[in-house]
Structure 1
């Protein structure tokens, strides 16, 4: 059974980096100024470098009582399928938990590079941040492999000196409200097997 949080699997050839610039196949005209927070829109009409929101400290939450943020997670295709049918898993290994035990996210697909220990699939998720503890480089060594901040906070957000290297960790999978995912081309054979990556001429409407 597929998780209710899993909203869509997006074939890799529909991703924003594959826009042909032809009529009907162009990226979002608002580019990096886009305010559309729909997960499908983010992956399909924007590049891997696109950050849907400013860094957390600069975001003004629009919905009273909610503290929503968009995060990106990279993993293996096998793990992505498992997540789609269940949920994320909490990371507990000391070497991969710089901000403590939890689930880790970056601000864009591109920024998962160098952070995630796995490759082959991307997940774009809407997250309830809850109570957030913001930390800097001076704090990270004291947090690795720990859980003590979870008594007071739901999320730890790391403000890197270079904001393109920010990341954050949520303590509970309950905070991950919904997601869409894409499997990289080298691991997804169905698109090519079914000819979904081949453009064809449909019935001409004659209006252009």
Structure 2
């Protein structure tokens, strides 16, 4: 991928937006000078040109200013997520800064669409500027030299503008399609059909909020969504997702924790059932992300999966005798820390792997457990700071 280095790509974006801002100011001065001395007929072209350029550029200029303020003095303006300034919350300010103000429920369900929304918004702005350029060419042809200077500057302005749009798309592509912590090779590894993506742990809800276990989803505990992206990015790790007690054939969300190397193997070949365990052979899941901390035997990566329970056997005792015609054994913990074991790997429909890019090696097992052949835990590091504020909740 071109411009794969996150910090370098981010610096390119800052430079390109600065160049576009300077180009807009030059165009603005030229068109205002033309309007001040043009005839009324020429103004019929020049005024719409000005309005189109203002509509395309002022919003972007304003958002860039807000972004710089939030990024560099944001902690001074907003001490926490709950603070407001002039009735403006921090999350709304970030949405202004990243041009992702227009949000709907689909963005909560599919946060991948947020950066795409920004991308298409920028494309729309470029379309407005192109219409202004066409009008300026027509004006210069009919009432020249009015509009001629604008045409020349606008033509050169399209070069950084096009580069900006391309790099903005690469920004989206890098996070959702190109982040592969298990490989530094250019060729993309072949992943299992159930594997959706890798996410750095910094993208999780609890890492994006300043208050401990503060859920960003506006529906909070009443939310019925079981979309994996939504569960991870907009709900706290202590949120539990137990199945209903009365029905078989339920599809639920489960959580599993293992080491880096094992998680990368799961991404490529799928889960493998253990031969033994407290509930018998199978693959074990907790009903919340936090509960994996004291249930797992390996650490470093979290897996959020969508699972078909099929026929479920419920128990409150360890090592129960389970009839062979059950697909899942569900253990009801007396303190709510339930877990369940699915007998067949095929019951696990899809999953997202959350990677701790800076694991505490003292917590992990000694030796080479969880490391890749290179001795590293990750081969491809994603700098999550370049996406700061992009996924602020509604």
TM superposition score normalised by structure 2: 0.42
Partner SS for 1:83: helix
Partner SS for 1:117: coil
Aligned pairs for 1:13-24 (under 5 A) are 13-20=202-209
Partner SS for 1:80: helix
1:56 CA drift (Å): 3.9
CA 1:28–1:200 in 2, change beyond 3 Å: closer, same or farther? closer
Partner SS for 1:186: coil
Consecutive unaligned residues in structure 2, runs of 5 or more = 1-189, 360-376
Question: Which residue of 221, 225, 231 maps to 1:42?
Answer: 231
CA 1:175–1:27 in 2, change beyond 3 Å: closer, same or farther? same
Residue matched to 2:295: 115
CA 1:189–1:75 in 2, change beyond 3 Å: closer, same or farther? closer
* CA distance in structure 2 between the partners assigned to 1:84 and 1:73 by the alignment: 13
1:177 aligns with 2:345: no
Consecutive unaligned residues in structure 1, runs of 5 or more = 144-148, 203-208
Partner SS for 1:185: coil
Whether the 8 Å CA contact 2:280–2:319 is kept in 1: the answer is no
1:167 aligns with 2:339: yes
CA 1:12–1:152 in 2, change beyond 3 Å: closer, same or farther? same
* CA distance in structure 1 between the partners assigned to 2:226 and 2:353 by the alignment: 15
Residue matched to 1:124: 304
Aligned pairs for 1:1-208 (under 5 A) are 1-20=190-209, 27-51=216-240, 53-57=241-245, 66-93=249-276, 97-137=277-317, 140-142=318-320, 149=322, 151-163=324-336, 165-187=337-359, 195-198=383-386
* CA distance in structure 1 between the partners assigned to 2:261 and 2:379 by the alignment: 15
Greater per-residue strand proportion:
1
Residue matched to 2:187: none
Greater per-residue helix proportion:
2
Cα deviations across residues 61-115 of structure 1 (Å, max 9, x unaligned)? 8xxxx4211110000011110000011111124xxx0000000000011011211
Whether the 8 Å CA contact 2:203–2:384 is kept in 1: the answer is no
Whether the 8 Å CA contact 1:150–1:171 is kept in 2: the answer is no
CA 1:41–1:32 in 2, change beyond 3 Å: closer, same or farther? same
Cα deviations across residues 125-176 of structure 1 (Å, max 9, x unaligned)? 1111011100112xx1345xxxxx362100000011111x110000000000
TM superposition score normalised by structure 1: 0.77
CA 1:200–1:27 in 2, change beyond 3 Å: closer, same or farther? closer
1:8 CA drift (Å): 1.5
CA 1:15–1:92 in 2, change beyond 3 Å: closer, same or farther? same
* CA distance in structure 1 between the partners assigned to 2:281 and 2:223 by the alignment: 32
1:195 CA drift (Å): 3.5
